Structure 1
Amino acid sequence: MQYRRLGTSGLQLSALSFGAWVTFGAQVGRSLARQLIAYAHERGVNFFDNAETYNNGEAERLMGDVLADLRLPRDSYCVSSKVMFGAVEHPLPTQRGLSRKHVVEACHQALERLRVDYLDLYLCHRPDPDTPIVETVAAMDMLVRQGKVLYWGTSEWSAAQIRQAHQAARLNHLTAPTMEQPQYNLLHRDRVEREYAPLYEEFGMGTTIWSPLASGLLSGKYLDGVPHDSRLAQSNYAWLRDNLLGQGDAMVKVRALSPIAERLGVSLAQLSLAWCLKNPRVSTVILGASKREQLEENFKALEVVGKLDADLMEAISAAVGQGA
């Protein structure tokens, strides 16, 4: 495993990490979750990503039970939660958002579900237009000072909102966000590569990227339809299926990438993950998996990164219709 600093902080995360979105509590039960987390940890993964809203808290509860059952040394891994959407089906106004009340209570609830004393990473899952950014920053600062959170950050905030958070922290002597968790893959590049570009140098921001395979599109498994055991086949993710497969040009781009992967003798998933890892602004790539075989294949992407020279990177960008 390779390790990278989370921005300019001193925290080093495994280049590949493991997340619970979609799978934990749905496709993945306790026995399989135990196998996946144990295997990932054995391979050097030291970051496990979660959120209050994943299966309404069940993903965190399942992960917490497994981490406790495996008795992994607490100093050998980092765990995250995210706050915004709440952990109940129809949340009341005080059960969601980024108010001081919900940020603090959601943290306490995540600690209980994950069965830990502190969160290594705590992220604002989306911006909250109903809460002043300075209030959210102050709530996060309080949790950091209490030792319940070590690093806090944002997920899918605009560069302008992230800059406002840093300004609020500076003016009020509060702890500033350390990282952003954006979607980043070969089909979704602009925010990480362009919009956030000034933030890396200006604030030392790290990125913990999600959906590196575009919810499976970049694995190639949807080229001939939707497999019955895939996440897109689940009725509660029909919105995701329609959103992804409704992008007509996406499948064209995936097909154009296939010959490049074949030429390298690697899978399309390994090529796509290695491409993400090639970006030095990526602190860690969050993997999702419902089978151990998927993790085994994805970990081999680490061996592909060094093979992606300038010519190959240019060919990959050409295949998806963007300049390198």
Structure 2
Amino acid sequence: MHSSTESESAHRPSLPISKLTLGTAQLGMPDYGIANDTGGADANALLEGSISAGITSFDTSPEYGESEKRIGEFFTQSARIQEMAVMSKVKLPKQLGMTEKEVTAHMYASLEASLSRLQLKRLPILKLHDPDILIMHGTTVTQTLRNMRSEGLIATGGVSLTDRTDEQYRRIAACLEDDIYSVIQAPLNVLDHRLQASGAMTRMRASGKTIVARSVFLQGLLLMNPERLPDSLHEAAPPLHVLRMLAEQEGISIAQLAFSYVRDMDGVASLIIGIEKREQLEENLQLLQGPALSERCLHAIRTQLNHITERIISPALWNRDARNNRRTIEGNIKR
């Protein structure tokens, strides 16, 4: 295995990742998100608006319905896609008994299909949709990504951490030392301090990883009225009350507090924001220009919101009733 210290400068590409990354699940999945009413109809307008606003990075996946296809069609008449940091993913089945040959074949087939839909010859960033696969097939997956890079099919690789971020990171940390994994996508928000508390963020920064944050608004939970939470999420009411108090003391919205906290976090290169409508793009651009949090506020967040139960910060643990009762989803800011 090659570590990140071996020929690091030669292997780490210069990627045009903007501070905001457009999450494109909404573009390809009409039913994605409880509040999504665009059905992907505004895909071209959102992509054009994003580029006009200086966004150069886009997060997609074969799992996001028609998302890759829509992106490819939008850029087909322009060479601008070559200047963008398009991030897609590969998801490997977890079935036992897969051979090295089968793992490699699955990865190449997935990448080739993504390249075809995106109308690209080289994908800037290919992330593992579920990095737990590294526990079973770490050597094969890593070598396959390295081969893809040497063949000019990808610029670099990465992983997308799931809800169990600190535990998952510990289990795959040795694999992530390889320089092929230069982009780490992870859920980061004002209630979720697991990666910081475990030291994982410090190690990522020290090894030169590009950190991309998702779940900035915790799929909309942070923006909900604590008095109107579904019963299954009643435990979230106290920390939400604290957020409201801190936002009032700072003289800013809860959305701005949540956004600024992650935006200014050491090592975070970009925030993935799911957007359905052009006005939401404008709202997020305004948040991007918003004020930094005071040291008093940061101290309060670190001391009062540093031990939030996983039942709150892991959406995978929310039951179906709670999900169906969410008033907002990540990136759908309604105040």
1:53 paired with 2:58, answer no
SS at match of 1:246: helix
Identity %: 21
274, 280, 294: which one aligns with 1:309: 294
In structure 2, the gaps of 5 or more residues are: 1-11, 31-35, 309-335
Match of 1:34 in 2: 44
100, 103, 114: which one aligns with 1:99: 103
1:256 paired with 2:242, answer yes
Give the TM-score normalised by the residue count of structure 2.
0.74
Aligned-pair distance for 1:195? 4.5
The answer on whether the counterparts of 2:205 and 2:267 sit within 8 Å (CA) in structure 1 is: no
Q: Quote the Cα distance in structure 2 between the aligned partners of 1:193 and 1:39.
A: 37
Give the TM-score normalised by the residue count of structure 1.
0.76
Match of 1:274 in 2: 260
Specify the code of the residue in structure 1 equivalent to 2:160. S
In structure 1, the gaps of 5 or more residues are: 1-7, 170-174, 226-241
1:43 paired with 2:50, answer no
Aligned residues: 281
The answer on whether the counterparts of 1:30 and 1:66 sit within 8 Å (CA) in structure 2 is: no
| Comparing 125-134 and 209-218, the one that deviates more | 125-134
The answer on whether the counterparts of 1:18 and 1:48 sit within 8 Å (CA) in structure 2 is: yes
Aligned-pair distance for 1:221? 6.7
Q: Quote the Cα distance in structure 1 between the aligned partners of 2:306 and 2:249.
A: 19
Aligned-pair distance for 1:136? 0.2
SS at match of 1:266: coil
Match of 2:133 in 1: 128
Q: Quote the Cα distance in structure 1 between the aligned partners of 2:39 and 2:226.
A: 24
Q: Deviations over 1:34-75 (max 9, x none)?
A: 1111111111111000112123xx222222223336x36124
The answer on whether the counterparts of 1:25 and 1:62 sit within 8 Å (CA) in structure 2 is: no
Q: Quote the Cα distance in structure 1 between the aligned partners of 2:67 and 2:18.
A: 21
Specify the code of the residue in structure 2 equivalent to 1:61. K
86, 89, 110: which one aligns with 1:79: 86
Match of 1:155 in 2: 160
Match of 1:237 in 2: none
Q: Cα–Cα, structure 1 residues 312 and 160, in superposed 2: closer, same or farther, change >3 Å?
A: closer
Match of 2:326 in 1: none
Q: Quote the Cα distance in structure 2 between the aligned partners of 1:182 and 1:104.
A: 24
119, 123, 132: which one aligns with 2:123: 119
Alignment of 1:190-229 (within 5 A): 190-220=194-224, 224=228
Aligned-pair distance for 1:129? 6.2
Match of 2:145 in 1: 140
Specify the code of the residue in structure 2 equivalent to 1:290. E
2, 15, 22: which one aligns with 1:18: 22
Q: Quote the Cα distance in structure 2 between the aligned partners of 1:251 and 1:72.
A: 48
- Give the superposed CA RMSD: 3.0
Q: Quote the Cα distance in structure 1 between the aligned partners of 2:62 and 2:112.
A: 11
Q: Cα–Cα, structure 1 residues 201 and 294, in superposed 2: closer, same or farther, change >3 Å?
A: closer
| Comparing 202-211 and 279-288, the one that deviates more | 202-211
Aligned-pair distance for 1:201? 4.7
Runs of 4+ in 1 over 4 A off after TM superposition: none
| Comparing 127-136 and 114-123, the one that deviates more | 127-136
Q: Cα–Cα, structure 1 residues 291 and 264, in superposed 2: closer, same or farther, change >3 Å?
A: farther
Q: Cα–Cα, structure 1 residues 18 and 67, in superposed 2: closer, same or farther, change >3 Å?
A: same
Specify the code of the residue in structure 1 equivalent to 2:110. A
305, 308, 319: which one aligns with 1:320: 305
The answer on whether the counterparts of 2:15 and 2:124 sit within 8 Å (CA) in structure 1 is: no
Q: Quote the Cα distance in structure 1 between the aligned partners of 2:225 and 2:283.
A: 14
Give the structure, 1 or 2, with the largest relative contact order (CA under 8 Å, sep 6 or more): 2
Q: Quote the Cα distance in structure 1 between the aligned partners of 2:256 and 2:76.
A: 31
Specify the code of the residue in structure 2 equivalent to 1:82. K
